[in-house]
Structure 1
Amino acid sequence: MGKSKTFSVLIFTLFITFSAGNPALASNWSLTGDTLIHDPSIIKEGNTWYTFGTGLVGENGIRVLRSENGNEWNKAPNVFPTSPSWWKDYIPYHESNQWAPDISYYNGRYWMYYSVSSFGSNTSLIGLLSTTSITSGQWRDDGLVIRSTTANNYNAIDGDLVIDKDGNPWLSFGSFWSGIKLTRLDENTMKPTGSIYSIASRPNNNGAVEAPNIIFRNGYYYLFVSFDNCCQGVNSTYKMAVGRSTSIAGPYYDKNGMNRMNGGGTIFDAGNDRWKGPGHSDILNNNIIVRHAYDALANGSPNLLINDLNWDSQGWPTY
């Protein structure tokens, strides 16, 4: 069951053009306008596309891009131009910009999970907004979803909603520390109602594993993660890996049969000469994938990449 999602930032506005062509047919979609973004999440409401991403450093809130055709993008007003006061009850010294929003449509509402934290800390929280119409710009503050402190062995950021094969909502999350976690959500409150499962880590907790994104297709749950070093422009070593499981709570295995809890993961995208450090993906309807990467032709500016997501004869994703 694919979920409906959104595009989930840093330095200055950049105008880029990829190879021309119809988005439905092109490998790299042809993008123009403002495509500056980190941690994109994508959704389509009616004929309008939205991307939500981590806010620019030094600004308030969550960055929003909008498009009428999926190709030409423009900046839209930020979400959270003013921070809710309750955040400081949990994170007294949080960043002014919020991180890694995730947007999905479920049970008649759009649900947006977002992260509040400070760099290098696991004193963090995932909060929730919802609305019946993104275009309205009217969001309901649904408050705290889950938090972490220095007493926890995980980091409550990078939340990602997944709907299982039976229609039940779950939330995956995590960055560094002991890796990627998963918890069942109440379908009315969209907040945790059960245990926290561990589903992916790095060997000996060495380095980042973060930005989980789970989809269900043809009997398998596919777990995409990003690992290594993000946010260093052309020096970023970020890359994406994937594994799959017949159960949403795992275990997840890569193509070679290695368990994701033992550091397994089949590389999906490690970048190229132009696009460095791709990662923090989001998938729409099991056939469109978005992520950010750093443009070597533009001083390492972080930008939105969109591709058609394809599937090979063994059921593994390609692009």
Structure 2
Amino acid sequence: MAKKGRQGYRLLLLSFLMLFTTVFSAGSQAYAATWNLTGDTNVHDPSYIKEGNTHWVFSTGSGLQVMFSNDGTNYIRSLPIYNSKPSWWSSYVPNQEGLDVWAPEIFYYNGTYYLYYSISTFGSRVSAIGLVTTKSISGGKWTDQGVVISSNDASNYNAIDPNITADANGNLWMTFGSWSNGIYITSINKTTMKPTGNSYRIATKSGGIEGSSMVYNPNTGYYYLFVSIGQCCSGVNSTYKIAVGRSTSVLGPFYAKDGTDMKNGGATVIDSGNSFWAGPGGQDIYGTNVIVRHAYSVAENGAPKLLISDLEWDSAGWPYYN
């Protein structure tokens, strides 16, 4: 190749690389980047919040597990919320194993952090949702607020997997529930931060549905109900998937993309896992632009790990991430 030809080729290659870099950089933002996490990332059912510059993750585990990060990517495990059982736990869930606590939900309102959580046993509707509060997460001083809602084997719902959301008018709601009886919603009193009034079923799905997380997106005018469908907790054999439906009302009906009501099993899957991560679920939505969840690492023989991604919205108003 002549010298002039080699120079032209190099310029062409350089231009291509510059164009590729520009497109890739833009794409990494437009196509929902997954955060590069390090440190202790072993979790089930994570719930995420920021307090100042500190990132906090609460998750299923003994005493209610806590992790924090100063940069949002490198996580350190802190002390659990509980080191002994509150007296009321045994009254509602007599067969609970030790300090096993499930699926927490952290919510900030009026200068207080409200941490909701579940106690239960597998395969039973003998369950309860509890509440503990603090003015400062980093301060580490939590106050137990007792039971929020409970259920038993005769109940229509299973009182687990709480999630708190604010509607377009600032009213507060809690979604909760699981499996055959589906997902329910109830209004929350802003003074007690506990339910008031009736509970309404808004989603069901044969084969498993739980871990609801609702968010209102003012840019689209819809309420989005994210759920975990399938079965968790079996490592790489877990069949969990993250799915979503949407509604113009906080009380529904919520519809999947194909128009099926979520009360009739509708659900649009947005993450079914891949060759690296099995059984994604237990999701939590922070604001409208971050999704936090767990998935089972194939490379680590099914260890449950924390995953965080930027949540994006397509032109039709549906959420997605990579």
Fold-level similarity (TM above 0.5): yes
Q: TM-score, normalised by structure 2?
A: 0.88
Give distance in 1, aligned partners of 2:267 and 2:245. Answer: 6
Q: What is the aligned partner in structure 1 of residue 214 from structure 2?
A: 214
SS at match of 2:255: coil
Structure 1 position 150 matched with structure 2 position 158: no
Distance, in Å, in 2 between the alignment partners of 1:133 and 1:42 is: 15
Q: Counterparts of 2:207 and 2:177 in 1: how far apart (Å)? A: 13
Aligned to 2:40: 34
State the match for 1:50 in structure 2: 56
Provide the residue aligned with 2:196 in structure 1.
193
Q: How far is 1:159 from its partner? A: 0.4
Asked if 1:73 is matched to 2:75, the reply is: yes
Report what 1:99 is aligned to.
102
Residue number in structure 1 paired with 2:121: 118
Identity %: 53
Runs of at least 5 residues in structure 2 that lack an aligned partner in the other structure: 1-24
The residue type equivalent to 2:208 in the other structure is: A
CA RMSD of aligned residues (A): 1.2
Residues in 1 aligned to 2:48 and 2:151: alpha-carbon distance in whole angstroms: 26
What is aligned with 1:230?
232
**TM-score normalised per structure 1:** 0.89
Distance 1:95 1:292 in 2: 22
Alignment of structure 1 residues 290-301 onto 2, 5 Å: 290-301=292-303
In the alignment, the residues of structure 2 paired with residue 130 and residue 276 of structure 1 have an alpha-carbon distance, to the nearest angstrom, of 33
CA distance in 2, matches of 1:89, 1:300: 35
* Alignment partners' CA distance in 2, 1:317 and 1:107: 28
For 2:277 and 2:153, the matched residues in 1 are separated by 35
Structure 1, gaps ≥5 residues long: 1-20
Contact 1:130 1:139 in 2 (8 A): yes
Aligned counterpart in structure 1 of residue 286 of structure 2, from 263, 280, 284: 284
Offset of residue 95 of structure 1: 2.4
- Tell me how far 1:207 sits from its aligned partner: 2.0
Query: What is the rounded CA distance, in whole Å, between the counterparts of 2:176 and 2:85 in structure 1?
Result: 22
1:177 shift after superposition: 2.8
Instruction: State the secondary structure of the residue aligned to 1:234.
Output: helix
After superposition, residues 262-277 of structure 1 pair within 5 angstroms as 262-277=264-279
Cα drift, residue 153 of structure 1:
2.2
Q: SS at the partner of 1:177?
A: helix
What is the identity, as a one-letter code, of the residue corresponding to 2:58? Answer: F
* Matched residue type, 1:209: I
Contact 1:125/1:146 (<8 A) preserved = yes
* 1:134 maps onto 2:137 in alignment: yes
Aligned twin of 2:9: none
Q: Does the 8 Å contact 1:236/1:276 carry over to 2?
A: yes
Distance in 1 of aligned mates of 2:87 and 2:77: 26
Larger Rg: 1 or 2? 2
Letter in 1 for 2:252: G
Aligned pair count reads 290
Paired residue secondary structure (2:132): strand
**TM superposition shift of 1:89:** 1.1
Instruction: Compute the displacement of 1:194 (Å).
Output: 1.0
Q: Distance in 1 between matches of 2:43 and 2:117?
A: 15
* Amino acid paired to 2:116: Y
Partners of 2:34 and 2:249 in 1: how far apart? 32
CA distance in 2, matches of 1:248, 1:192: 15
Where 1:65 maps in the other structure, the secondary structure is strand
Partner of 2:176: 173
1:42 CA displacement: 0.1
**Alpha-carbon distance in 1 for matches of 2:178, 2:225:** 14
Give 4+ residue runs of structure 1 displaced > 2 Å after superposition.
none
